[in-house]
Amino acid sequence: MSNPVVSYEIIDSIGVITVNNPPVNALSQALRDGIQKAVTAAQSDASEALVLICAGRTFIAGADITEFGKPPMSPSLSDILVSIENSKKLIVAAIHGTALGGGFETSLACHYRCAIASAKVGLPEVKLGILPGAGGTQRVPRIAGVKAALELITTGNPISAAEAADMNLIDEIIEGDLKSGAIQYAKDLVDSGAPLKRIRDITINASSIEPGFFESYRKKLAQRARGQIAPDRIVSCVEAAVKLPMDQGLKLERDLFMECVQSSQSRAMRHVFFAEREAAKIKDLPANMPVRDIKRVAIIGGGTMGGGIAMCFANVGIPVTMLEINDEALERGLGIIRKNYSITVQKGKMTEAEMAERLTFINGTTQYKDLADVDLVIEAVFENPDIKAEVFGKLDAVCKPGAILASNTSYQNIDNIAAATKRPQDVLGMHFFSPANVMKLLEVVRGAKTSDDVLATAMQIGKKIGKVCALSRVCYGFIGNRMLGGYGRQAHMLLLDGASPAQIDAAAEEFGMAMGPIAMSDLAGLDVGYKARQAREAAGEKMDPRAHCIASALVEMGRLGQKSGAGYYKYDPQTRARVPDPEVDALIKAHAEKLGIKRREIGAEEIVARLMYPLINEGALILEEGIAQRPGDIDIVYVYGYAFPSAKGGPMFYADEVGLKNVYDAICKFRDQHGADIWKPAPLLERLAKEGSTFAAWGAAQE
């Protein structure tokens, strides 16, 4: 046979089908066609059994996502799986790397599966707002059980070969060379007279499923999935695997797969998938830009943020030195790290031995001279420009030439920080999000004099420690926190206008946010914003009382949020459950009356618009000013840094889905109601709305 990505040969009586479609053996049309032709040809040749194996670094890692939304090309994945499953000769899938999505479904159509110990398998489709569409929801429950199947498919997380073997998804773990081992395994199966084990022939005993199980699982998922439809449809498919014959279950799976693919949620989540990859690219830097070697890292500041950053590096085996002002503060910081690791061990996500190993990569000091040999320093001290300038002056004096000096500042001007050194080309921002050892976003902030190789190094090291990186230019708050200002201001003004804290949070959470803005303020601590406002007022900035008067009054009453047991809400001391407080309602009404604001009933639709549209409008300004490289970068910042629902795609994608004219018209309406000082349409938004265009089209034109 002749196929550019699939070859076939007989080795020691076993027909070996080899897939070679770099980089990840995606299920392209050519690959599908090649497998089907090889299986068909093998039915009449001298082979006794077949092995399906892949060249390169991985087994079939999934569908060719670039084919989504395009007319289907024959053969479909379902067509080749029928050919595999109905083969007269036994077929063994030989797995290495990752067998994901359609790749794993291909292996499930084979009669047996073997894998090397380092392999992983999974069905991650739910993370793209879809479900397995080639039998995954029907075959996995038949061999792994219903509960295990639901957990695997609704989380989308891959599992190890050992875990898969425990679930009957893998039949044999191969030690040594996979190809020779798989061929020998196939020969052993033939010699032992092993049957053609088709998963479709297994029937699930419906009486083994407790009454109400599926409905209960749906309710549990509803809390976790925040309005996403794919998890619910997955439950329907697995339920069909129990109650319906295989072919009917496959038809339902296909119908629900198409519903999900065509949904706005899947469009949004596929957008996030591609935007994440684009965000890692710096437009004016070549892909092969040389980077600096980062072998040792230092962290200035051992608080919650500094400790979390240190863990990020220790987790990948990079030695870290954490500097604190004195021995007491240093021991406290190291204690935070030990406590965080201990919690992970208690949850069963890490062993004691793994924790001990990671802690060996972290040491502490109180002396700047001990940082002389590090390759990267990340400052994580208080948001005070004078303190930061002092720190960078000291670093400039002790760090070796070529060391990168980074600030974790959330707001401060990177160029001003760089000016405290004689090496501004080596200075940039690396803005982590709290808790840094958990949150995936890293805003890399490019100063006016930051060198290209420093930028490239920061993006590369960010990826190495498991972060999703997005580039920002210098402005107050960079991308994320700058945009957040309008979101928080409107939450406060909605209170004055008539909405209760619970109504605002409920509307935001129904939209898909992990937590509403009022509850989030209580979680972060109301005193944090209070101190920031004091600093800005001391610098001469005039603050609008409509944007903070209630929050300030709560702080002055000693209500700091969750940490004090009361903020906008009261908090149960045991469960931390939030409870509306009539005292706060009275406070809000009093301030509204004082400001001459007539309160009224406000619906969820208006609440969502007034929270989300400031994000969009500020995002448009950020694009015009060149602070962000592309609309998708803004979306990545908000999905990974601020828990914006991935099923909405980020604020800029969401704006395109709503329609920029609709967003613009609403902002104009709010401007007329509340004043142009608060609601002023960004010029880019206005222009695109009047042209009938989108942020996506504008972004594509800039590439």
Q: What count of other Cβ atoms lies within 10 Å of the Cβ of residue 237? A: 28
Asked if residue 288 belongs to a domain, the reply is: no
Q: Are residues 474 and 519 in the same domain?
A: no
- Please, what's the largest Cα pairwise distance for the chain? 91
The share of the chain scoring above pLDDT 90, in percent, equals: 89
- Residue 483 pLDDT class (50, 70, 90 cuts): very high
Helix (H, G, I), strand (E, B) or coil at 570: strand
Q: Are residues 452 and 308 in the same domain?
A: yes
Amino acid of residue 553: A
Q: Are residues 609 and 589 in the same domain?
A: no
Beta-sheet strands, E only, within 329-385: 362-365, 376-379
Q: Give the pLDDT of residue 222.
A: 87
Sign of CA dihedral 197, 200, 206, 212: positive
Last residue of a domain, one of 573, 594, 615: 594
CA angle 276, 279, 283 (to 5 degrees): 150
Assess whether pLDDT exceeds 70 at residue 453: yes
Q: What is the mean pLDDT of the chain?
A: 95
Please say whether the beta carbons of 463 and 470 come within 8 A: no
Give the span between the Cα atoms of 618 and 503, in whole angstroms. Answer: 24
The residues, any chain, with a CB within 8 Å of residue 116's CB and separated by 6 or more, are 95, 96, 161, 173, 174, 175, 178
Asked if residue 578 belongs to a domain, the reply is: yes
Please say whether the beta carbons of 379 and 301 come within 8 A: yes
Q: Give the pLDDT of residue 612.
A: 98
Q: What is the CATH number of the domain that holds 305?
A: 3.40.50.720
Confidence (pTM): 0.92
Q: Are residues 10 and 117 in the same domain?
A: yes
Angle between the 480-497 and 631-641 helix axes, to the nearest 10 degrees?
70
Give the span between the Cα atoms of 362 and 316, in whole angstroms. Answer: 12
Give the tens place of pLDDT for each residue, 529-550.
888 788 778 878 888 888 899 9
Q: Are residues 116 and 251 in the same domain?
A: yes
Q: Are residues 621 and 547 in the same domain?
A: no
Q: Return the C-alpha torsion angle 658, 664, 667, 673, nearest 10.
A: -120
Give the span between the Cα atoms of 52 and 62, in whole angstroms. Answer: 15
b (16+ CB within 10 A) / e for 58-80? bbbbbbbeeeeeeeeeebbbbeb
Give the span between the Cα atoms of 215 and 220, in whole angstroms. Answer: 9
Last residue of a domain, one of 559, 594, 629: 594
Give the tens place of pLDDT for each residue, 257-273.
999 999 999 999 999 99
Give the span between the Cα atoms of 87 and 111, in whole angstroms. Answer: 9
Q: Are residues 253 and 137 in the same domain?
A: yes
Assess whether pLDDT exceeds 70 at residue 65: no
Amino acid of residue 254: R
**Which residues are marked as active site?**
105, 125
Asked if residue 496 belongs to a domain, the reply is: no
Cis check for the bond before 211: say yes or no (omega within 30 of 0): no
- Tokens linked to 68: 């989504």
Give the span between the Cα atoms of 496 and 600, in whole angstroms. Answer: 9
Give the tens place of pLDDT for each residue, 510-519.
999 989 999 9
Please say whether the beta carbons of 422 and 483 come within 8 A: no
Asked if residue 485 belongs to a domain, the reply is: no
Give the tens place of pLDDT for each residue, 353-400.
999 999 999 999 999 999 999 999 999 998 888 999 999 999 999 999
Quote the number of domains for the chain: 4
* Ordered alpha helix ranges (H), 18-69: 29-42
Q: What is the CATH number of the domain that holds 146?
A: 3.90.226.10
Please report where in the chains the tokens 């296909």 appear, as a residue. 254
Q: Give the pLDDT of residue 62.
A: 83
Q: What is the CATH number of the domain that holds 687?
A: 1.10.1040.50
- Tokens linked to 583: 């005292």
Give the span between the Cα atoms of 267 and 261, in whole angstroms. Answer: 7
Assess whether pLDDT exceeds 70 at residue 317: yes
Q: Are residues 313 and 448 in the same domain?
A: yes
> What's the full length of the chain, in residues?
703
Q: Give the pLDDT of residue 69.
A: 63
Assess whether pLDDT exceeds 80 at residue 49: yes
Assess whether pLDDT exceeds 90 at residue 668: yes
Q: Are residues 70 and 196 in the same domain?
A: yes
Asked if residue 499 belongs to a domain, the reply is: no
Cis check for the bond before 124: say yes or no (omega within 30 of 0): no
Q: Are residues 512 and 438 in the same domain?
A: no
Please say whether the beta carbons of 91 and 56 come within 8 A: no
- Residue 226 pLDDT class (50, 70, 90 cuts): confident
Amino acid of residue 294: I
Sign of CA dihedral 497, 481, 623, 650: negative
Domain span at residue 201 reads: 6-261
Q: Give the pLDDT of residue 415.
A: 97
Helix (H, G, I), strand (E, B) or coil at 94: strand
Asked if residue 484 belongs to a domain, the reply is: no
Last residue of a domain, one of 217, 242, 261: 261
Give the span between the Cα atoms of 350 and 356, in whole angstroms. Answer: 10
Q: Are residues 572 and 685 in the same domain?
A: no
Give the span between the Cα atoms of 124 and 131, in whole angstroms. Answer: 8
Q: Are residues 664 and 635 in the same domain?
A: yes
Asked if residue 528 belongs to a domain, the reply is: yes
Nearest to 696 by CA among 646, 651, 639: 651
Asked if residue 442 belongs to a domain, the reply is: yes
